[in-house]
Amino acid sequence: MGWRHLCGHDRTGAFFHRAFSKGRQSHAYLITGPEGVGKKKVALEVVKFANCGARDAQGACSKCASCLSIEKRNHPDFIEIYPDGGTLKIDQVRELIHRLSFQRMIGRFRSGILCQAERLTEEAANCLLKSLEEPPEQSLLILTAENPRMIPQTVYSRCQHVSLSLLPPADIERLLRERGADETTARFIAFSSMGRSEQATREWEALLHIQEYAREVLCTIHTMTKDACEKEKEILGEIQAVIENKLFSSDLFGPAYSAALREIENVKDKIIIEGEKREDRMKKLHTHLGELENILVQEMPLRVKAIEFWQTLVSNKSVLHLGRFFRNSTGKSVYRQEESKQGFLPVLEILELYLRDVLFLQYVGEKEEEYLWLGGYRDFMKRDAERYPSQVLKHMIYLIDTFLHGIRLNIQLDLQALSFVLRMREELQNASGCRNKI
């Protein structure tokens, strides 16, 4: 892979290249930046370069035994730690320190990556401190974090800080073209990824996954059409049109995503109604469509989740119904469960960006649209810019900021979420007593 594939982080790659090539590397680095910007990818590339047996000016070779085993996470001198249950616990840090203290087996460095370092508990941070002050010989520790201010100062001050910034769409578009995306799709995802190369890559891979399964469903439809009756052909034709027109659209990962899900749900319902007394093959097709629907829900981009949540808020639906994203495979609400907390945070962060875009449109108009974060939702933004006064939008952003702060401080999620949704709905409906009346 090498530095050239770090997509826009060329200077960061050059910095690490100079440090390791001249033997001036630090024992500990803290890589920070927004979610999805590529922190883990950079950290992994640094570990590969540090241990590569055939590295050159382009970075690690990505072909030697060391590079391949690090990529597969089975290198004996490498360990990667993630939060467990929302936090990085002291036992995890102890294991990391223990592994870094071993004698090297095949690599130049005993290396470790500690992801989401802002989730370190106080005990874990104190445990890590000793190793940062007195690091084992030939060890390399890389911490990644979105918000460096949430990392204890004692840990922060003992690491060399490397900050990654959001990337221009042209760099992300180039990366996606190199991975096989056509020009239209690459441009749409690049301009919708908000400068986050890792997020764009995930969306491209998700799109490939969706379309791969969609082709299987189309093959099933073509086989069934040969000997289907007229009513069945009508349903099969409708399903085929939905898949071909929606799922293979270059802008699927924008407003079309929710529409595609709704249409697949509708044709599934038709199969149930029309196919009650029909052959098992219709039931099989219904199962395929259900699996396709599940894949779409699982692969749903953050911005689609955020807009769905927003649409639920502004509608008159039950306050406890937070939209499709906040339901598990059994259809039951999961927003009170701990695992939903990690999914709720980035959705609200995207929603905040959306509301800031709406405010931006109110202030500068459409002449500066190229500066919008969520460019694929211009029509939504224009409508909301006309519907809500700027004061209401500012209060909504304030509520989101307050809620995010409360969740990061581990305030009880269920009561916090319920209060948050109720207060936002009051603002939107201009209820008596809400702040936009003041």
pLDDT digits (tens, 9 = 90+) for 319-338: 555 555 454 444 444 333 44
Q: Beta strands 78-81 and 110-114: pairing type?
A: parallel
**Residue 104 pLDDT exceeds 90:** no
What is the per-residue pLDDT across 165-206, written as a single tens digit (0 to 9) for each?
888 888 888 888 888 888 888 888 888 777 888 888 888 998
The answer to whether residue 68 scores a pLDDT higher than 80 is yes
Show the DSSP H helices in 299-337 as ranges: 302-314
Highest mean pLDDT: which of 90-94, 135-139, 406-410? 90-94
Residue 432 in this model has a pLDDT that exceeds 50:
no
| Residue 299 banded pLDDT, cuts 50, 70, 90 | confident
pLDDT at 351 over 90: no
- pLDDT tens for 289-298 read 888 888 888 8
Percent of the chain's residues with pLDDT above 90: 7
Average pLDDT, integer, range 370-388: 78
- pLDDT 10s digits, 206-239: 899 998 998 988 888 888 887 777 777 888 888 8
For residue 274, the model assigns a pLDDT of: 54
According to the model, what pLDDT value does residue 331 have?
A: 44
Average pLDDT of the chain? 80
Going by their DSSP bridges, the two strands 139-145 and 28-32 should be labelled as parallel
Query: What is the structure's pLDDT at 170?
Result: 84
What is the spatial distance between Cα 173 and Cα 178, in angstroms, rounded to a whole number? 9
Reply yes or no on whether the pLDDT at 70 is more than 50.
yes
> What span, in angstroms and rounded, lies between the C-alpha atoms of 333 and 7?
38
| Band of pLDDT at residue 411, cut at 50, 70 and 90 | low
pLDDT at 338: 41
Residue 114 is predicted with a pLDDT of: 93
Q: Which of 22-26, 178-182, 264-268 has the lowest mean pLDDT?
A: 264-268
Say yes or no to pLDDT of 277 above 50.
no
Q: Assign 334 to helix, strand or coil.
A: coil
Q: What share of the chain has pLDDT > 70, as a percent? A: 83
The CATH fold assigned to 3-165 is: Rossmann fold (3.40.50)
Which pLDDT value is given to residue 339? 42
Does 247 score more than 80 pLDDT? Answer: yes
Q: How many CA atoms lie within 13 A of 121 on its CB side?
A: 15
How high is the pLDDT of residue 229?
77
Interatomic CA distance for residues 215 and 404, integer angstroms: 40
pLDDT of 52 > 50? The answer is yes
CA distance 306 to 199: 15
DSSP secondary structure, 361-372, as one string: HHHHGGGGGGG-
3-state secondary structure of 316: coil
pTM: 0.74
Longest dimension (CA), the chain: 77
